[in-house]
Structure 1
Amino acid sequence: MRALLVDRSVPGGLRLGEAPDPEPAPHQAVVRIAATSLNYGEIRYFVPSAPEGAVLGLDAAGVVVRAAADGTGPAVGTPVVALADGGAWAELCAVDTERLAVVPAGADPGAVSTVPAAGTTALRALHRLGPILGRRVLVTGATGGVGRYAVQLARIGGAHVIATTGDPEAYGRTLTGLGAHEVLEGPHQAGDTTVDGVLDLVGGRQRVDGYAALRSGGTLVAVGHATDGGETFPSGAFLGLDGRHERSLVTFNLAAEAGLGRDMAWLADRVAARELEPGVSWHGGWDKVAEATDALMGRRLHGKAVLDLG
């Protein structure tokens, strides 16, 4: 089968080549991939550390061509979206049936391929905040794939949504269009103890400032780390004085989450119905993967990059 292979001798570290067809375990279905979306973390961290010739990739949308031998999961011919444990950047991919979700017939594969990593991360991270109806929720790094989903889902959940971006003038209209009530350059502009929850997708100084902005009982979910800098919290940051009682900082890892199929199905339905905007800002064939990875790594791409595997 054709696949994108790790090859650090070429621009972007990926080249189109041939790989063996996958051999599924009994609980896995084989999916013929129509589209896959790239995640910044995959390009920045996975490609540089993977063995040469490896086939990576988490996000996929396509059709089941071989049902799971154990009888679980959808039948042959079913359109699905999948969160793979690697291998999604290929014509065929074996996926655990618990990480497959049926999508509506006729749904755009490119749009729904953005759901598995970005959409489910945003949804599950928001769950960590508890009920958000009437609450103030801050999303840092809101122009990225996860951030755009988080802004929309927080608004659907009834929150007052505050989004941060490095360039509010350029992206403010986009974020308010997605549901943000306020668009700021960083959490420091929100003032102290003014939000009930934070989804931090950036790390570094924004994580520190986001935690400082929490009200008593508030929670910050540390989702991603796009910055090169670490976090240095000032002395006394974790004391419960002056309205800062019982604040929490929670870590998050999508790979440790169970039961994602149901969430992916719900999200894919919303995307197919145009109730959620997938935020695709680059879309092309997989022969153009170097162009897509260059835009991601250069931070010129705000949203998702989608490859058509045809």
Structure 2
Amino acid sequence: MRAIVHDPAGLRLADVPDPEPAPHELLLEVRAASVNFLDVVYRERNLAPGGVPGVDAAGIVRAPAADGTDPAAGSRVVTFAMGGAWAQRRAAPVADAAVVPEGIDLAVAAALPAAGVTALRAVRRLGPLLGRRVLVTGASGGVGRFAVQLAALAGAHVVACAARTAGLAEIGGREVVTDLGEVGEPVDGVIENVGGPLLGQAYGLLAEDGLALSVGQASGRPTTVDFEEERRHGPNGRRIEAFVVGQGLGPDIAVLLDLVARGVLQPQVARREPWERFAELTRDLRERRIAGKAVMEIGS
């Protein structure tokens, strides 16, 4: 089969062996795969030379899992796994797969797993949000745009912070800012996707007992927090937590698919290109030229 593979000199299309699924994995004929920040920026860290990048892929089940679990052959599904998505076929755990309802394009479904489930679980981690103020940083990215929508659906007053703010008010941002200095009132929760100094600033905006979730570190920079200054103000219960998405994404992918099918969640696919244009897509994502999700359509 053909696949995009990691090489120390860069990405390239190559012939590679078909994947061999484990008993708990299905074999997928890939039709579309998303391009995530982690696929591009952390590729060298996560893959050996010759490895196939990509975590999200949607397509048709070629062979069901050998352990007998659904979905059956011929089903339209979207899958998550740590690698292997940017190929004509991929093996993926059934626990991290969901059947795509009729009426949802497979390219749209491919945009959901990594970014969508991360946002969904982060919103849940903040607890009940009805009437609470929630700050989302890096709000123009894939996780950010899902987080803005899902927090708004949960009843939060969403403060969306991003360098590029187009469309954020339309998807649920009640306040849309380009700098945290523009935020005039404390927030009850933070979904922080940028890291570096911005995480420290966001932590400083928390109200008493507020929680800041460090979801990503797109800036690549460390964060400094003056906890001595925190102690001077006395106990207030504010905290930072390193967020980890966890395992078993299938049921939550199904939740997102249902929201899309009902028209209450927009998948925010900003770019959709044939996979032969992978170099352009990955470059534009790395250089932050894509606001939302990027999806590659995989040729047969």
Q: How has the CA–CA distance of structure 1 residues 237 and 22 changed in structure 2, closer, same or farther, with 3 Å as cutoff?
A: farther
What one-letter code is carried by the residue in structure 1 that aligns with 2:174? H
The aligned counterpart of 1:124 is: 121
1:268 aligned onto 2:242: no
Alpha-carbon separation, structure 2, partners of 1:121 and 1:128: 10
What one-letter code is carried by the residue in structure 1 that aligns with 2:65? A
Q: Contact (CA 8 Å) 2:6, 2:43: kept in 1 or not? A: no
Aligned length: 299
Q: How has the CA–CA distance of structure 1 residues 109 and 186 changed in structure 2, closer, same or farther, with 3 Å as cutoff?
A: same
Q: How has the CA–CA distance of structure 1 residues 184 and 237 changed in structure 2, closer, same or farther, with 3 Å as cutoff?
A: farther
1:61 pairs with 50, 58, 63, which one? 58
The aligned counterpart of 1:3 is: 3
Alpha-carbon separation, structure 2, partners of 1:284 and 1:270: 25
Of 231-240 and 291-300, deviating more is 231-240
The aligned counterpart of 2:199 is: 207
Alpha-carbon separation, structure 1, partners of 2:50 and 2:247: 30
CA shift, 1:52, in A, is: 1.8
Q: Contact (CA 8 Å) 2:100, 2:106: kept in 1 or not? A: no
Q: Contact (CA 8 Å) 1:134, 1:160: kept in 2 or not? A: yes
CA shift, 1:275, in A, is: 2.2
Q: Contact (CA 8 Å) 1:8, 1:48: kept in 2 or not? A: no
CA shift, 1:35, in A, is: 0.3
Structure 2 length normalisation: TM-score? 0.95
The aligned counterpart of 1:93 is: 90
**DSSP-derived class of the 1:124 partner:** helix
Which structure 2 residues correspond to residues 148-227 of structure 1 after superposition, within 5 A?
148-167=145-164, 171=165, 173-191=166-184, 194-227=186-219
The aligned counterpart of 1:135 is: 132
CA shift, 1:237, in A, is: 4.4
| Deviation readout 1:141-193 (Å, 9 max, x if unpaired) | 000000000000000000000000124xxx2x40000110001123332246x
The aligned counterpart of 1:246 is: 237
Alpha-carbon separation, structure 2, partners of 1:246 and 1:48: 35
- Stretches of 4+ moved more than 3 A in 1? none
CA shift, 1:240, in A, is: 7.7
Aligned CA RMSD, in angstroms, stands at: 1.6
Q: Contact (CA 8 Å) 1:197, 1:219: kept in 2 or not? A: yes
Percent of matched pairs sharing the same residue: 45
Q: Which runs of 5+ in 1 are unaligned?
A: none
Alpha-carbon separation, structure 2, partners of 1:181 and 1:89: 36
Q: Contact (CA 8 Å) 1:188, 1:213: kept in 2 or not? A: no
The aligned counterpart of 2:142 is: 145
Q: Contact (CA 8 Å) 1:82, 1:95: kept in 2 or not? A: yes
**DSSP-derived class of the 2:251 partner:** helix
1:229 aligned onto 2:218: no
1:24 aligned onto 2:21: yes
**DSSP-derived class of the 2:67 partner:** coil
**DSSP-derived class of the 2:254 partner:** helix
Structure 1 length normalisation: TM-score? 0.92
What one-letter code is carried by the residue in structure 1 that aligns with 2:239? S
